[in-house]
A and B are shown apart, each in its own frame.
Chain A
């Protein structure tokens, strides 16, 4: 069985917005995948179905051998603990510091303070944010926020990473840095990393599988 699998998944937002239609695909462990589609194609919706922020109107979603589209809502936190998500709208708390954001997923997993501090330090140097660790997020630039979001998604070393437009707020150089970070993470941890983007220019930069999304339908191409 595949690591992540969509079977004939449709999502209709009320009143009648067809965000996804009959989406079927599967991902294996350790894959690095781009999901490319214009804005409004349904990329964010696809991710929200995996994180259970939304539920599909039709179809089944399987993750790591379990069906998650009808998962009991009590178990949703444990699903989310196994994912690393870079949210399109970042989902940061302006008053929290960079450090607090990084350790949040670790504390949620029950890690103790000293270990969490070590992990956060490592991640901060990886992101190039060492000198910002005790800045409140509202004092960061857009690009720094974006990087922080990536760091928070990776710090607990999840086996599935969903990055929704992780380069949206970044200049070209930083964008490549972030993508490299995600790519290397995928290799190092044997984790599946899915990057959603509207930018076709990014696709050629990494040896990756590409899933195209157009008006809620998928088709595949390989490069």
Chain B
């Protein structure tokens, strides 16, 4: 342990560089993970609004209606199917408009099916399928604007997935290169230890532990930053747009902590290992 602390004190810049790069990457990962959680919440929130209503033809029997509803409910992409019989439709209409039952005498209220998609980006596909189904007459949903919105949404989903993987890959590369480089800068120490008979384990252990240490520092830093900056920010947003942001922060603190610690340690270890292997090749 004495050896390690001396190493760090002697070249603190390298230690800070490692810790800082780990911190930045983990901070990014934290932000993106939280963003993803928010995003799934939003998706859930929106899909209630993007319900599809399919009206049955007049000639469809009640028995068939139940059968069709069951079939549709079995689909993977659909979370909720509600059959609205004519009486129910009439009742709702009267409630909404405040008219008396006598004034709608003779008007027919067709039965309909309320379909809620699991992922809103699948809404258009679901609409197409329902329209092809001969039991339905009319299929209603948001219309042209919703269609455009959904297309944008699909694009966003695809883009953000690629972006996340890109950031992750790039960040890990940066850390590995920086930590490997910091071991390379101390090539001489490894060379001298090797000349006085140190085994690889002996020569490498301080670097390895140092890697774990700065990984931990970076990880804890990123976690604290999330706990004291990102989460309050989300809470603030929740107050400003009530009901819109629904991530239960307390649920996620634990796994975020674990993710940050393991991520930091892992990146520190992998980086120093690469650095050491590079050094090992160049010494006698």
Docked complex Cα distance between A92 and B188 (Å): 8
A105 touches B188 (CB 8 A): no
Decide yes or no: A95 and B198 within 8 Å by CB, A53-B284, A108-B193 being known contacts.
no
A37-92 with Cβ < 8 A to chain B? 48, 51, 53-54, 77-83, 85, 87, 91-92
A127 within 8 A of B: no
A152 within 8 A of B: yes
Which residue in B2, B10, B192, B197 is a CB contact (below 8 Å) of A78?
B197
A93 touches B189 (CB 8 A): yes
B236 within 8 A of A: no
A27 within 8 A of B: no
A51 touches B198 (CB 8 A): no
B174-213 with Cβ < 8 A to chain A? 188-189, 191-200, 202
For A95, list chain B residues within 8 Å (CB): 10-11
Docked complex Cα distance between A81 and B193 (Å): 11
For B192, list chain A residues within 8 Å (CB): 91-93, 104
B189 touches A77 (CB 8 A): no
For B11, list chain A residues within 8 Å (CB): 95
We find that the number of chain B residues with CB closer than 8 angstroms to chain A is 19
Interface string of B226-257 (1 = CB under 8 A from A): 00000000000000000000000000000000
A77 touches B188 (CB 8 A): no
Docked complex Cα distance between A100 and B3 (Å): 9
For B194, list chain A residues within 8 Å (CB): 77, 80
Identify whether the interface residues of B are mostly helix, strand, loop, or mixed.
Answer: helix
A105 touches B189 (CB 8 A): no
Interface string of B1-13 (1 = CB under 8 A from A): 0110010001100
Closest-by-CB residue of A relative to B199 is A77
Which residue in A51, A109, A113 is a CB contact (below 8 Å) of B195?
A51
For A113, list chain B residues within 8 Å (CB): 2
A77 CB → nearest B CB, Å: 5
A135 CB → nearest B CB, Å: 14
B195 touches A87 (CB 8 A): yes
A140-166 with Cβ < 8 A to chain B? 152
Closest-by-CB residue of B relative to A96 is B189
We find that the number of chain A residues with CB closer than 8 angstroms to chain B is 27
Decide yes or no: A91 and B191 within 8 Å by CB, A77-B197, A78-B197, A105-B196 being known contacts.
yes
A187 CB → nearest B CB, Å: 24
For B2, list chain A residues within 8 Å (CB): 113
For A77, list chain B residues within 8 Å (CB): 194, 197-200
Docked complex Cα distance between A75 and B171 (Å): 38
For A48, list chain B residues within 8 Å (CB): 284
Closest-by-CB residue of B relative to A92 is B192
Docked complex Cα distance between A66 and B6 (Å): 38
Closest-by-CB residue of A relative to B200 is A77
For A79, list chain B residues within 8 Å (CB): 197
Docked complex Cα distance between A81 and B197 (Å): 5
B8 CB → nearest A CB, Å: 12
B189 touches A108 (CB 8 A): no
For A87, A92, A105, the residue with the greatest tally of chain B CB atoms inside 10 Å of its CB is A105
Docked complex Cα distance between A104 and B193 (Å): 7
A160-191 with Cβ < 8 A to chain B? none
Closest-by-CB residue of A relative to B190 is A93
For B197, list chain A residues within 8 Å (CB): 77-83, 105, 108-109
For B2, B11, B193, B197, the residue with the greatest tally of chain A CB atoms inside 10 Å of its CB is B197
For A83, list chain B residues within 8 Å (CB): 197
For A92, list chain B residues within 8 Å (CB): 192
Docked complex Cα distance between A141 and B245 (Å): 68
B196 touches A80 (CB 8 A): yes
For B198, list chain A residues within 8 Å (CB): 77, 104, 108
A13 CB → nearest B CB, Å: 13
Docked complex Cα distance between A216 and B88 (Å): 107
A79 CB → nearest B CB, Å: 8
For A109, list chain B residues within 8 Å (CB): 197
A78 CB → nearest B CB, Å: 7
For A53, list chain B residues within 8 Å (CB): 195, 284
| Given A78-B197, A87-B195, A91-B192, 19 extra CB contacts under 8 A | A48-B284, A51-B195, A54-B284, A77-B194, A77-B197, A77-B198, A80-B196, A81-B197, A83-B197, A85-B195, A91-B191, A92-B192, A93-B188, A94-B188, A95-B10, A104-B193, A105-B196, A105-B197, A108-B196
Which residues on A are within 8 Å of B, measured CB to CB? 48, 51, 53-54, 77-83, 85, 87, 91-96, 100, 104-105, 107-109, 113, 152
**5 pairs, CB–CB < 8 Å, chain A vs chain B:** A80-B196, A85-B195, A95-B11, A96-B189, A100-B6
